[in-house]
Amino acid sequence: MIKIGIVGGTGYTGVELLRILATHPEAQLTAITSRKEDGVPVAQMYPSLRGRVDLAFSAPDKANLNECDVVFFATPHGVAMAQAPELLAHGVKVIDLAADFRLQDVSAFEKWYGMPHSCTELLAEAVYGLPELNRERIKTARLIGNPGCYPTTMQLGYAPLLKAGVIDAASLIADCKSGVSGAGRKAEIGILFSESSDSFKAYGIAGHRHTPETVEQLQRLTKDKIGLVFAPHLVPMIRGMHSTLYAQLNQEISNEALQALFENAYADERFIDVMPFGSHPDTRSTRASNMLRIALHRPENAKTVVILVVQDNLVKGASGQAVQCMNLMFGLAEDCGLHHVPVTP
C-alpha cells in the first residue's frame, strides 16, 4: 500500500483527492493537514466521505508527512515550494496541484504569481504531470507539477495537430469556459451564487496565468513559435470545463485525415475519448470522472479547424490527473482507482 499525505485537504481539489483515494485499492490515507481544522474529522466537514475516510485533519507539525510515500499539495501557490525540499530529502515523492513546479521559467512564475520562487534548484528535475504527453518522465519522477485545468484541455486539443505540423502554430485561439469550482473553495464576491448564477462572463482577457504554462508546454511539440490567444470564461455551473479551440490549417488535408491524427494519437489512452467527427461533447458527459472528450469540426471545409474539448475541471483537470501521475510513479496500472463513470444527470 502507498502511504499518502495530503496537505490542504479542505478545498475542492483536496476533497476530490480524498474521494478518489478513498476507494483506490493501493492507497492508504495517512495524514490530511489543515491548521484551521486541526482535530476535526474529515467526515464531519464532508459527510459524503462518512464510512470512507476515518481520519481527522491535523496541523502540519503533527502530520508526520516525512513518513509518507507520497504527499499531494492541494494548497495555494507557494506552499509546496516551501515544504518540498524537506520531504524529498526524506525520500517522499511530491505531487503539487498548484503552480509552484509547472513553469521552468522562474521570471514567468514570479510575474504571473506575484511571489519569489523559493526553491529554484528543484525546478530542473520537476516533471510536468500530463501523462498523455509526458508519461515516461513521470514514471521516474519524484517531483510533479500537476497541470492547470485549462492548460490540460488546450494541450491535449492542439497536440496532434502541432506534432503533425498541419496548423499555423502562431495563430491559436482558445475560447474556454469553466465552472465556478475552478476558483476554489473560498468566500469571494465574484463566485457567490447570487453573483455568478444566471450570468456569463469572460475574465483574464488581458492576460491569464495559464497562458505562459500552456505556451511553454506547446512549444515542446513544435519548432515553430507558438502564438496563443486565450479567453477564459466563468459559467454558472459547479464543475465542468468546455474549451473551443481554433487553428488555421497550413496545408491541404481531408477531414478523415484530421480525424485519424487524433484517433491514432490517443488510441491507447484510457482517459481520452476521440468522438466521431462533427460531434458535440458536453461537460455532463465527463462529470465526476477522469475522462476528457474531444471532437473535431471544420466549418464549410475551410482552413479553420475547431477542436471541442470537455473535462471535469476538478478530476482530469486537477485531482484525477494527480492520481494518474501517482499510479505511474509507483508502477501501478495508470487507471488504478480511476474507473469512475460520469454522473448523469
**SS3 for 49?**
helix
pLDDT of residue 88: 98
pLDDT-derived band at 186 (thresholds 50, 70, 90) equals confident
Among the listed residues 149, 176, 325, 336, the single catalytic one is 149
Question: Cell numbers at residue 188, please?
Answer: 469571494
Q: What pLDDT digit, counting tens, does each position of 209-218 carry?
A: 999 999 999 9
Sign of the Cα pseudo-torsion (316, 148, 304, 280, in order): positive
Same structural domain for residues 121 and 159? no
**Does residue 195 surpass a pLDDT of 90?**
no
Q: What does the mean pLDDT of the chain come to?
A: 96
Contacts of 334 (CB under 8 A, 6+ apart): 131, 270, 324, 327, 328
Catalytic annotation present for 325: no
pLDDT of residue 56: 96
Same structural domain for residues 98 and 172? no
pLDDT of residue 189: 79
**Does residue 152 surpass a pLDDT of 80?**
yes
Question: Cell numbers at residue 63, please?
Answer: 502530520
Residue 330 included in any domain: no
Give how many domains the chain has, as a whole number. Answer: 2
Task: Show the domain range for 61.
Answer: 2-125
Residue 7 included in any domain: yes
pLDDT-above-90 percentage for the chain: 91
Same structural domain for residues 112 and 182? no
pLDDT-derived band at 95 (thresholds 50, 70, 90) equals very high
**How buried is residue 344: exposed, middle or buried, by Cβ count under 10 Å (0-12/13-18/19+)?**
exposed
Same structural domain for residues 173 and 287? yes
pLDDT-derived band at 101 (thresholds 50, 70, 90) equals very high
Same structural domain for residues 41 and 154? no
Residue 319 included in any domain: no
pTM of the entire structure? 0.96
Alpha-carbon gap, residue 269 to 53, rounded angstroms: 30
Same structural domain for residues 159 and 263? yes
Residue 322 included in any domain: no
Q: What pLDDT digit, counting tens, does each position of 28-51 carry?
A: 999 999 988 999 999 999 999 999
Sign of the Cα pseudo-torsion (56, 67, 60, 141, in order): negative
Average pLDDT over residues 147-175: 98
Report the CATH number at residue 186. 3.30.360.10
Same structural domain for residues 103 and 219? no
Do residues 317 and 287 touch, judged by C-beta distance below 8 A?
no
Q: What pLDDT digit, counting tens, does each position of 236-270 carry?
A: 999 999 999 999 999 999 999 999 999 999 999 99
Question: Cell numbers at residue 57, please?
Answer: 485533519
Alpha-carbon gap, residue 310 to 316, rounded angstroms: 10
Enumerate the β-bridge partners of residue 104: none
**Does residue 317 surpass a pLDDT of 90?**
yes
Residue 335 included in any domain: no
Structural domain ending residue among the three candidates 109, 125, 141? 125
Alpha-carbon gap, residue 19 to 296, rounded angstroms: 32
Same structural domain for residues 220 and 77? no
pLDDT of residue 345: 86
Residue 232 included in any domain: yes
Cβ-based neighbour number of residue 325 at 10 Å: 29
Average pLDDT over residues 220-247: 97
Report the CATH number at residue 118. 3.40.50.720
Same structural domain for residues 161 and 303? yes
Residue 130 included in any domain: no
